[in-house]
């Protein structure tokens, strides 16, 4: 009986938050050989071929990067930021996230790649959901900011590439991702809890989906290898939605520091945050955003391998270890 040869998987953005974790998981799986593309110099471990990726724009010649690759997992992107100081944010996002993605996909298909897994964003669906009406893959996309629009346009380009070349494309749209090494607002939130700062979120009644890094990486690897994943779109999530107070309380437990929550009405929280230029943060803390992950379950037989509390424990342990 002959064994199936290992697939060569190219991971772009391999030095990033998701890319680092994904590369580590892939390199320990005998089904895969890993090629890591990164702008930064990295040391990803034994068995990983590192290639430079100084430019993934539409005019870049990536023939050497994609040569001999069976599957591309495209994580590299111009990422969403709270305050974008570019004179034309949409144009900049389109260059990197739309044109760059399409170019990489076409060159990968020409080189013989069989599958292209694209990490998109739940922002393609929109910014918020009605209470207990989660987003699904069947919803008409309604991106509202430059980042979300560029990601949606990249998905459309990838559909064209799949239709023209026969290369299977898989799109994954995650909500907020947390895990060891998380930055930005999630890390600041852990800092507030650790310092015992009273937080005015005790009266918020919402539900939001998150996805732990472990669960997202597991879904990506499933999308790489599962026969039925080709030309599908999947929403990611932990399978349990939390209100902002629930998240803070359970994260506080993981940190060993009880959350100090003050029951300020949501309209006042939104007003206060808006007055200090944090309107988007107010929407995230007070609004609803739920994802329906049943399609991944039904098509791929996928279940999140870890629960929310284990995910929070892992991120809290990492934060406490590296906070200095």
Single out the catalytic residue among 118, 147, 152, 178: 147
CA angle 19, 103, 70 (to 5 degrees): 55
Joined together, the tokens standing for residue 213 give 């890094």
Instruction: Count the Cβ atoms, other than its own, within 10 Å of residue 99.
Output: 18
Task: Identify whether 147 is a catalytic site residue.
Answer: yes
Strand partners, 251: none
Task: DSSP for 288-312, please give it.
Answer: -B-B--HHHHHHH----SS-HHHHH
CB 47 within 8 A of CB 36: no
CA distance 179 to 194: 17
CA distance 316 to 301: 29
CA distance 80 to 67: 30
Residues noted as catalytic: 147
């Amino acid at each position: 009986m002959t064994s199936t040869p290992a697939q060569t998987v190219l991971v772009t953005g391999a030095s990033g938050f998701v890319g680092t974790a994904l590369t580590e998981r892939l390199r320990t799986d005998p089904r895969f050989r890993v090629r890591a593309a990164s702008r930064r110099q990295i040391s990803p471990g034994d068995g990983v071929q590192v290639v430079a990726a100084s430019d993934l724009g539409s005019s870049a010649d990536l023939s050497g990067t994609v040569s001999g690759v069976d599957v591309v997992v495209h994580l590299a992107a111009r990422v969403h930021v709270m305050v974008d100081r570019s004179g034309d944010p949409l144009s900049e996002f389109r260059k990197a996230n739309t044109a760059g993605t399409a170019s990489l996909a076409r060159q990968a298909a020409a080189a013989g790649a069989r599958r292209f897994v694209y990490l998109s964003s739940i922002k393609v669906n929109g910014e918020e959901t009605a209470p207990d009406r989660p987003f699904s893959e069947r919803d008409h996309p309604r991106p509202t900011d430059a980042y979300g629009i560029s990601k949606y346009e990249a998905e459309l380009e990838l559909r064209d590439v799949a239709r023209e070349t026969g290369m299977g494309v898989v799109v994954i749209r995650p909500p907020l991702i947390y895990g060891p090494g998380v930055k930005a607002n999630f890390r600041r939130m852990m800092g507030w809890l650790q310092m015992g700062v009273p937080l005015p979120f005790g009266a918020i009644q919402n539900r939001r989906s998150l996805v732990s890094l472990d669960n997202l990486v597991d879904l990506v690897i499933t999308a790489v290898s599962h026969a039925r994943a080709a030309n599908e779109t999947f929403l990611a999530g932990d399978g349990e939605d939390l209100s902002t107070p629930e998240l803070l309380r359970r994260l506080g437990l993981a940190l060993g520091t009880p959350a100090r929550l003050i029951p300020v009405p949501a309209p006042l929280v939104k007003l206060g945050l808006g007055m200090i230029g944090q309107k988007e943060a107010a929407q995230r803390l007070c609004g609803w955003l739920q994802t329906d992950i049943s399609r991944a379950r039904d098509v791929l037989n996928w279940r999140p391998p870890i629960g929310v509390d284990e995910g929070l424990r892992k991120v809290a342990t990492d934060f406490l270890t590296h906070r200095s």
